[in-house]
Amino acid sequence: MTTPTADSALPAPLVGVVMGSASDWSVLGPACDTLDELGIPYEARVVSAHRTPDWLFEYAESAEARGLRVIIAGAGGAAHLPGMLAAKTLVPVLGVPVPATLLNGIDSLLSIVQMPAGVPVGTLAIGKPGAVNAALFAAQILGTADPALRGRLAERRAANEAKVLGQTLPPQT
Ligand code: RP5
């Protein structure tokens, strides 16, 4: 099946970044940027639970054998993509609610977070902050078995800390 792709330049993806529609790319793109920054190979694909259900099953069922260790799944509206993926694989799934409807992502958040007991989906914040945190969470999961990656994460935290500590407030007007 041919779907839009935007893979990392590195070979052998460890993280699958999937989204329900190409219209979700502006939200999920920052997750890929964060994975790039940390040197984590990924693949990015459009996989729709309701428009391409057979492709969803194929993607989830082949994920582990293809070497994926974490899946980041973003979707808007009813947002059943992360839960359906999680139902078909033991690879951990991190769900990112996308603000795609008049409900601004609250619908997606509630749909993704309310998985019944038995099939977990790790749910992040709505929109780009959730996408970036999903990438960082994926990095921390991979980092449990990759000391060099843990080091890069620690450097990133230290750089953010130094940035905040170096901030000064402008004079009040
Ligand atoms: C969901 O419906 C997608 O994840 C997207 O957020 C939303 C709207 O999709 P489009 O109609 O823009 O393709 O399946």
Ligand 1: centre distance to CA 153 (Å): 32
Nearest residue (CA) to ligand 1, atom 14: 20
Residues in CB range of 165: below 8 A, 6 or more apart:
none
Q: What is the mean pLDDT of the chain?
A: 95
What confidence tier does 168 reach under pLDDT thresholds 50, 70, 90? very high
Cα separation, 71 vs 89, in Å, equals 10
Cα separation, 155 vs 6, in Å, equals 27
H runs (alpha helix) in 24-146: 25-37, 53-63, 81-87, 106-113, 128-143
Which atom of ligand 1 has the smallest separation from the CA of 75? 4
Cα separation, 105 vs 111, in Å, equals 10
Q: Are 81 and 53 in contact (CB under 8 A)?
A: no
Ligand 1: centre distance to CA 103 (Å): 13
Ligand 1: centre distance to CA 78 (Å): 9
* Paired tokens of 81: 């993509």
Element (H, E) at 148: helix 147-165
Distances (CA, A) of 159 to 80, 108, 142, 164: 36, 32, 21, 9
From 17, 18, 23, the mutation candidate for ligand 1 (largest count of ligand atoms within 8 A of CB) is 23
- pTM here? 0.94
Q: What is the pLDDT of residue 70?
A: 98
Task: Give the ipTM of the model, two decimals please.
Answer: 0.96
CATH of domain 15-165: 3.40.50.1970
Q: What is the pLDDT of residue 4?
A: 55
Per-residue model confidence as pLDDT tens digits over 102-141: 999 999 999 999 999 999 999 999 999 999 999 999 999 9
Residue 51 counted as an annotated binding residue: yes
Q: What is the pLDDT of residue 6?
A: 76
Side chain identity at residue 115, one-letter code: M
Beta carbons within 10 angstroms of residue 91's beta carbon:
18
Q: Enumerate residues lining ligand 1, CB below 6 A.
A: 19-21, 23-24, 48, 75-77, 98, 100
* Paired tokens of 25: 């790319």
Structural domain boundaries in the chain: 15-165
